[in-house]
């Protein structure tokens, strides 16, 4: 197993960006510090990084796979949006409520799966269940 890499705050925030408010900067900084601590203590399972011109995303799973933190930065001309999502794997009934809400917000199945720590297939089955119950269309 390789040695964990410490992530610096500047590695996530795009170089050309509008001014970001202090609260967002502090929140992102604290999450990076948490990530560094987890890396040093080897409490992290899978780490996934994806990037496009507009979107940078880091997804970090706990060693047991029951918790996930997603840090996302979207950069558009004149706008930078930062979000941090922290989730835990839920029992089915609780997960169904979360899947329903995220679906109603317009999230795609894979996005929902990433957030609730399950596979896209599980989300598909959850949506079928919700349709059968008449809770969604």
The DSSP code sequence of 11-71 is GTS-SS-----HHHHHHHHHHHHHHHHHHHHT-EEEEEEEE-SSEEEEEEEETTSSEEEEE
Q: Are residues 69 and 21 in the same domain?
A: yes
Which one is predicted more confidently, 108 or 64? 108
For residues 75 and 56, give the distance between their C-alpha atoms in angstroms, rounded to a whole number: 8
pLDDT tens string 62-79: 888 888 888 888 888 888
Q: Are residues 80 and 48 in the same domain?
A: yes
- pLDDT score for 23: 67
Q: Are residues 34 and 94 in the same domain?
A: no
Q: Are residues 73 and 113 in the same domain?
A: no
Q: Are residues 13 and 57 in the same domain?
A: yes
Q: Are residues 21 and 78 in the same domain?
A: yes
Q: Are residues 80 and 101 in the same domain?
A: no
- pLDDT score for 21: 59
Q: Are residues 34 and 82 in the same domain?
A: yes
Residue-number span of the structural domain to which 10 is assigned: 1-88
pTM, full prediction? 0.62
Q: Which of 88, 108, 128 is at the close of a domain?
A: 88
State the residue for tokens 């918790």.
Answer: 67
In the chain, the number of structural domains is: 2
Q: Are residues 72 and 136 in the same domain?
A: no
pLDDT, the chain, mean: 81
Q: Are residues 93 and 127 in the same domain?
A: yes
Q: Are residues 15 and 79 in the same domain?
A: yes
Average pLDDT over residues 120-137: 96
Q: Are residues 56 and 121 in the same domain?
A: no
């Amino acid at each position: 197993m390789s040695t964990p890499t410490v992530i610096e705050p500047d590695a996530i925030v795009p170089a050309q960006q509008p001014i970001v408010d202090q609260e967002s900067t502090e929140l992102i900084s604290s999450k990076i510090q948490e990530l560094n601590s987890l890396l040093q203590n080897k409490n992290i399972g899978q780490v996934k990084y994806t990037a496009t011109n507009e979107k940078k995303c880091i997804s970090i799973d706990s060693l047991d796979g029951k918790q996930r933190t997603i840090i996302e930065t979207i950069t558009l001309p004149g706008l930078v949006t930062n979000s941090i999502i922290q989730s835990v794997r839920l029992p089915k009934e609780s997960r169904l409520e979360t899947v329903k809400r995220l679906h109603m917000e317009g999230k795609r199945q894979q996005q929902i799966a990433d957030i609730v720590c399950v596979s896209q297939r599980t989300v598909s089955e959850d949506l079928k269940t919700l349709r059968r119950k008449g809770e969604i269309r």
